[in-house]
Structure 1
Amino acid sequence: MIVPILTFVYDRRHIASSKREAVVELRVTFERRAKWMSTGIRLLPKHWHNGTVTNRVDAKELNAALDAIMVKARKVVNAMMDAGALNLDEIPSRMEALTREKRLFVDFCEDRAKVRVYGKSADTADRYDRFLKWLRAWGHIVFFSDVTDRNIMKMDEDLAKTGMKNYSKWNNYHRFMNSFILDAMDEGMLKRNPYKWLHIEKEKNCGLQKFLTLEEFRRLERAPMGTESLERVRDLFVFQTYTCLSYVDLVAFDLSSIQGGEDALCSDVSVYTAKRGKTGVEFTLLLLKGAKNVLKKYGGKLPLLSNVKYNEYLKLVAQAAGIDKPITTHWARHTGATMLLNDGGVDMEVISKILGHTSTRQTRATYAKLLDKSIITAMKGFEERLNGK
């Protein structure tokens, strides 16, 4: 790997004399090309020796200034190398931006992430960490001045080139970037938010296709997994499906929130009430037999694991059950709601309460097309009954 060479050069044009000063320049050499940048420091030949300012009253201050310039240059060059492309012509403007801003946008994001994940789940911290690692590796938004409409568009285009779907792009990348930009605006570090002017597709109703049919769920519920680890993951998915809990609320599940406590698991009616970790909205649900069976199997303590590992193992669970779908933890919630709506005939308002949505409008926005199918099925059945079939 070819490494850029950074060094200070005095009197490159050989114009200095005992009474005539010459400039000290920073030279960056890479792949047989060189970029020269003035440091603004002019000296007589007697004041420069072995790359150091000497024999001057302000020598200490001038050497400190040169050290600062070298640090900034190395930071810019390293950031560009990490991004996979060193453009020598961009170095001066990036150094100027770094001098003007005094703080990198990526550094600001890392500081804000510590605040945003405080008190949150380990999974949330992992998601922020993955985004920040990607942002540094991508390398196109380093300084505050890089937060432009064009760069956000490039970010979306580059993510799309990986084959990522709109929902994943927004939920795992743009959403975090937008949050950090808003934080920077609150602190006066940025004046405008490119997301205000750009339309980034979010696919809010993407969950519509992300569910298992009743037949697929039954197959997954009963299929032999081969290992205890996969069996625990499968059982967790089954419990989540029967309860329609999100991953955050799954982690927070507490037997003490069941009316009647742990003893209620043996009764016909076990009612669970809690508040959604995401919105704080209270929800109530009946623990169905399938959910209670899982709790009893594990002594009332769910076999939890991190969201990242959970999602990884679910791919293997699907394979073991012969299901060719990229299921994730959120599929369980959608599967449960879909079965209640399509197979159970449960009213939309009841499903909204179970899901802990802030309003039925939110539920309808997600399941509107499925509701349409339920209406069609119900009306066809009504017509058949009218015709005596």
Structure 2
Amino acid sequence: MIYHDMGFADAGDRGSVDATKKLTIMGIPTLKLMFDRRKRASKTKEGAIELRIGYDRKKKYATTGVRVFPREWRNGYIVHRLDAAELQRTLDVYVANARKIINDLMERGEFDMDSIVAQINGRQKKDAAKNVVKERFLLDYFRERAEIRKYGRSSDSCERYERFLRWFEEWDGMRFFSDINEANILAMDKTLSARGMKPYSKWNNYHRFLNSFILDANDDGLMQGNPYKKLNIRKEKSSGGLGKYLTREEFARIERLNPPTAYLKHARDLFVFQTYTCLSYTDLADFDAQKIKTVKGRQMYVGQRGKTKQEFMFLVLKPAMAILKQYNGRLPIMSNVKYNAYLKIIAVMCNIDKPISSHWARHTGATMLLNGGAGMEIVSKVLGHSSTKITREVYAKLLDETVGDAMEKFEERLLQG
């Protein structure tokens, strides 16, 4: 049990056991801030900070409403938190108000240990109600913001918000705005890592949402600062499509696979169709065969990306058209979650040691186009990028390798000639 002496002695006597005894003998109440009196705190559970009032060999405890982890309480002060100074001021004001209440009661001869806690807490609550807005639960605020952020977005994007909120509630590592600090965000990151998640997946599916809600909370005046600015949470976004595509031989294995169930066959067919069209999952789900138009004898599809509203177009290649005909122009769309789960099974069946997902099809298709000699402008138009700059950034390293392979083959021909 750790406590911080807040007695009525002068500065020299503060914290001294002898001073506490002397003050008690003199009949003057002593105040001490005590942490985790009931010894319930742990590395994952906060402990309460209480104010102990000592007088005439009696002790009473008043709750301050402040809770911290053991590592955040040192020598009677709050440390290692972004809001440490704010919480410390809360404690200082609480103790100062308690001291004033006790002094007033003693001057009037109305001091009573049996009712002192009720009087302190009753007065403190009234004072706080005038100046402080009751702290809200994070999850309630996040849900409100999610409803606003989901407006007008694709069903897949909406599901991502819901998935994050379900996980955040289950994790239960942060409940109030005061819980948003570097330590808790790192604890969150470690929890996600323990589940085997890669940096990109952790950021894109979890940290990104928490960060967006923190930014909203700053705009709404509910908190100040963003702990993410001081943390180095790996995103691995610069790798883009590189490493998230299948080789031509790996893709051929999936094409040749004879899935044992209808669900796996549907997932395989969707992946093959995605690869030959370079569609994202959102655009795949919105695919409308009626938009296919015959232009100079070719079957062309023109659409608008659900994510960016950017126009894209592509030639419906024969393998993609064959899949469409199998399903009479209506693809066997399933939820992205189920789709990705089936793709993991398909990868195992094809001896592909890669964590493939629906987005891998888009990257695989773009990679095959680039390796096949398609120009950057063409690939950019197929992908629905707003400029070739985006395409170049995503596939920059891949292009470097392609250029190297091409020049190596050119060199071989020169030597043979």
Query: What TM-score comes out, normalization by structure 2 length?
Result: 0.67
| Structure 1 range deviating more: 358-367 or 236-245 | 358-367
Residue of 384, 393, 396 corresponding to 1:365? 393
Q: Which of these residues, 299, 317, 322, is aligned with residue 328 of structure 2?
A: 299
Aligned with 2:303: secondary structure? strand
2-structure distance, mates of 1:157, 1:148: 14
Question: In structure 1, what residue type is equivalent to 2:378?
Answer: V
Query: Which of 301, 307, 312 matches 1:283?
Result: 312
Match of 1:18 in 2: none
Q: CA deviation at 1:347?
A: 1.5
Structure 2 counterpart of 1:347, from 375, 395, 402: 375
| Correspondence for 1:332 | 361
Matches of 1:127 and 1:248, distance apart in 2: 12
Question: Structure 1: how far apart are the matches of 2:209 and 2:158?
Answer: 12
CA distance in 2 between partners of 1:333 and 1:36 (Å): 54
Partner of residue 57, structure 1: none
Kindly indicate whether the alpha-carbon contact (under 8 Å) linking 1:123 and 1:308 is maintained by their aligned counterparts in 2. no
More divergent stretch after superposition (127-136 vs 293-302): 127-136
CA distance in 2, matches of 1:252, 1:190: 39
What SS is found at the alignment partner of 1:102? coil
SS at match of 1:209: coil
Q: Is the 8 A contact 2:153 2:307 kept in 1?
A: no
Which deviations, in whole Å up to 9, do the C-alpha atoms of 1:85-115 show, x marking residues without a partner?
xxxxx9x99x999985431122100111122
Q: Distance in 1 between matches of 2:185 and 2:340?
A: 28
Question: Shift in Å at residue 334 of structure 1?
Answer: 0.8
In structure 2, the residue matched to 1:388 is 416
CA shift at 1:197, angstroms?
A: 3.4
RMSD (CA atoms): 3.6
2:201 maps to 168
Q: Distance in 2 between matches of 1:358 and 1:148?
A: 37
Does 1:272 find its partner at 2:301?
yes
1:44-78: CA deviations, max 9, x gaps? xxxxxxxxxxxxxxxxxxxxxxxxx99xx9xx99x
After TM superposition, where is structure 1 displaced by more than 4 Å over at least 4 residues in a row? 27-31, 34-40, 95-100
Q: Residues 316 and 131 (structure 1 numbering): CA distance in 2 closer, same or farther, change over 3 Å?
A: same
CA contact (8 A) 1:238 1:291 kept: yes
- The aligned counterpart of 1:112 is 145
Equivalent residue number for residue 155 of structure 1? 188
Structure 1 residue matching 2:298: 3-state secondary structure = coil
What letter is aligned with 1:130?
A: R
Q: What letter corresponds to residue 125 of structure 1 in structure 2?
A: C
Deviation at residue 30 of structure 1 after TM alignment: 8.4
Give CA deviations for 1:168-194 in whole Å, capped at 9, x if unaligned.
Answer: 111011110111111112222222222
**TM superposition shift of 1:330:** 0.6
Q: How many residues align?
A: 315
User: Does the 8 A contact of 2:154 with 2:306 survive in 1?
Assistant: no
What residue number does 2:268 align with?
Answer: 234
CA 1:113 to 1:36, structure 2 compared with 1: closer, same or farther past 3 Å? closer
Q: 1:346 to 1:192 in 2, by over 3 A?
A: same
Does the 8 Å contact 1:105/1:143 carry over to 2? yes
Shift in Å at residue 243 of structure 1? 0.4
Residue of structure 2 aligned with 1:132, choices 149, 152, 165: 165
What residue identity is the alignment partner of 1:202? K
- d(CA) in 1 for partners of 2:135 and 2:181? 18
User: What is the distance in 1 between the residues matched to 2:380 and 2:226?
Assistant: 33
**Deviation per residue, 1:254-312 (Å, 9 max, x gap):** 1232224xxx8xx9511111111111111111111111111111000010000000001
Query: What SS does the corresponding residue of 2:146 show, helix, strand or coil?
Result: helix
The question of whether the paired residues in 2 share the 8 Å contact of 1:224 and 1:320 is answered with no
Length-normalised TM-score, structure 1 = 0.72
Match in the other structure for 2:214: 181
Deviation at 1:195? 2.4
Give the whole-Å Cα distance in 2 for the aligned partners of 1:268 and 1:296. Answer: 18
**Partner Cα separation in structure 1 for residue 37 and residue 332 of structure 2:** 56
How far off is 1:374 after superposition?
0.9
Secondary structure of residue in 2 paired with 1:311: helix
Residue identity opposite 1:375 in structure 2: V
Deviations 1:232-270 (A, max 9, x none): 11000000000000001111111232224xxx8xx9511
Deviation at 1:159, TM superposition (A): 2.5
Deviation at 1:222, TM superposition (A): 1.5
Query: How far off is 1:123 after superposition?
Result: 2.7
Q: Is 1:243 aligned to residue 272 of structure 2?
A: no
Counterpart AA for 1:219: R
Alignment partner, residue 136 of structure 2: 103
Q: Does 1:212 align with 2:240?
A: no
Matched, 1:376 2:404: yes
Checking the alignment, whether the CA contact within 8 Å between 1:167 and 1:203 is kept in structure 2 is yes
5+ residue gaps, structure 1, are: 1-26, 41-68, 81-89
The percent identity for this pair of structures is 52
Aligned AA for 2:242?
L
Q: Aligned letter for 1:302? A: L
Q: How far apart are the structure 1 equivalents of 2:387 and 2:49? A: 62
CA 1:206–1:166 in 2, change beyond 3 Å: closer, same or farther?
A: farther
Q: Which has the larger radius of gyration?
A: 2
* Alignment partners' CA distance in 2, 1:275 and 1:120: 14
Q: Which residue of 1 aligns with 2:26?
A: none
How many angstroms does 1:139 deviate by?
2.5
Alpha-carbon shift at residue 120 of structure 1 (Å): 3.0
Match of 1:316 among 341, 345, 355: 345
What letter is aligned with 2:336? Answer: N
